[in-house]
Amino acid sequence: MKEHLAIFNEQQQKIGTATREEVHRLGHWHETFHCWFLRKEEDEYYITFQMRSSLKQDYPNLLDITAAGHLLAHETVQDGLREVEEELGITLSFEELHSLGVILYNVTTDAFIDREICHVFLYLYEGMPRYELQREEVSGLLEAKFTDFYAFCRGTKEILILSGFLEDTEGIRTEVNMTANKQAFVPHEDTYLLKVASRIAKFIK
């Protein structure tokens, strides 16, 4: 059965529903749920990125938002938490999230048009969750110092230093340290990443 998404006009007013294929072929505005994980260790903050699975049709093996996905036509923003549970195996309550507001996102490639009304949230935690990755979606989790990521988004740092783990198709995890430039990330709008980083920085302060 095809998934249906609510579609919106430029004023973010709902105008109907469409299949996911139609949404991206015709460029309809639609709602998504984005959740960024931020870990605090002593006085340092670390932001977490997922490594998209090599099995993904779009942007395989690129770094991305910690957990994100489409909201279906019948879902509320709170229902977006299923993405965290499905992709990362972590169960959170909506009350544990901090809203970073709505960010509009508009990217066109040769393959599709992506116009998102992004409901963006932050999960701040200490320690290390017991992740259970959805292998067809996520192949690892890596983190960087938030101050470095903020500089990266502002264009004053070209390379990020990341550490975390990657998981093979058998579920075997390997600890990794790596560097990443912008080509290692899903090609989000620069303004999207900068808005996210700026709002996180404001929240931390």
E strands, the chain, are 4-8, 14-19, 29-41, 44-52, 63-64, 67-70, 98-108, 113-125, 138-145, 160-167, 173-180
Q: What is the pTM of this model?
A: 0.96
CA gap 64, 141 in Å, rounded: 10
Region 4-204: CATH code: 3.90.79.10
Helix (H, G, I), strand (E, B) or coil at 163: strand
| 120-153: pLDDT as tens digits | 999 999 998 999 999 999 999 999 999 999 999 9
Question: Over the stretch 30-85, which tens digit does the pLDDT of each residue have?
Answer: 999 999 999 999 999 999 999 999 999 999 999 999 999 999 999 999 999 999 99
For residue 197, count CB atoms less than 10 angstroms from its CB and return exposed for 0-12, middle for 13-18, buried for 19 or more. Answer: buried
Closest CA to 80 of 141, 136, 121, 115: 121
Please report, for the chain, the start and end positions of each structural domain, with discontinuous segments joined by +: 4-204
